[in-house]
Amino acid sequence: MTAFGASAYRRTGIDTGVAAASPHQLILMLFDGAIDAIKSAGSQMHGGQVAAKGAAIGKAVRIVEEGLKASIDRRSGGALADQLASLYDYAVMRLLQANLRNDAAALAEVHGLLDSLRGAWAQIGNGTPARSTAAAVSAAAATARPATPRVAVSA
């Protein structure tokens, strides 16, 4: 099979999977795509392939921003939705820093964060109570470093 044929076959499989997936499964697919892109970026970073690393990080950023964050229902999600949106903002910031600074630790941090959130999302599909998912999001938020340093202001 030619490279084009293999690519077309793979694309057809992805399209079929997306068309048949539930909204819950689509979110899992977004997590998987972002995590795969981060893994690819790490390999490209290690191999010194700057353009490919940037493309992989760009893909991860787009998935987080345009897929995961855009899917948050802030009207009915309350504080948990706001916290999740902040986590996604933090993940995007760290991905951009990883790209600019060639920072493998930042990639690993976002990989771990998204992997934890993916696990929590998968538990929802298994009928795990929502409070367990909220605890997972809170735990992920606690491990993420703040996006901006806190400055003490004295009166």
| Segments making up each domain of the chain, as ranges | 23-143
Mean pLDDT along residues 106-112: 97
Interval 11-30 mean pLDDT: 73
Name the nearest CA neighbour of 111 among 49, 33, 47, 44: 33
Identify the weakest region by mean pLDDT among 33-37, 59-63, 123-127. 123-127
CB atoms within 10 A of CB 27: 20
The domain 23-143: what is its CATH number? 1.20.120.340
- Report pLDDT for 155: 34
- The answer to whether residue 68 scores a pLDDT higher than 70 is yes
Q: Is 149 helix (H, G, I), strand (E, B) or coil?
A: coil
Flag whether pLDDT at 56 surpasses 80.
yes
- Predicted TM-score of the model (pTM): 0.75
SS3 labels along 33-89: HHHHHHHHHHHHHHCCCHHHHHHHHHHHHHHHHHHHHCCCCHHHHHHHHHHHHHHHH
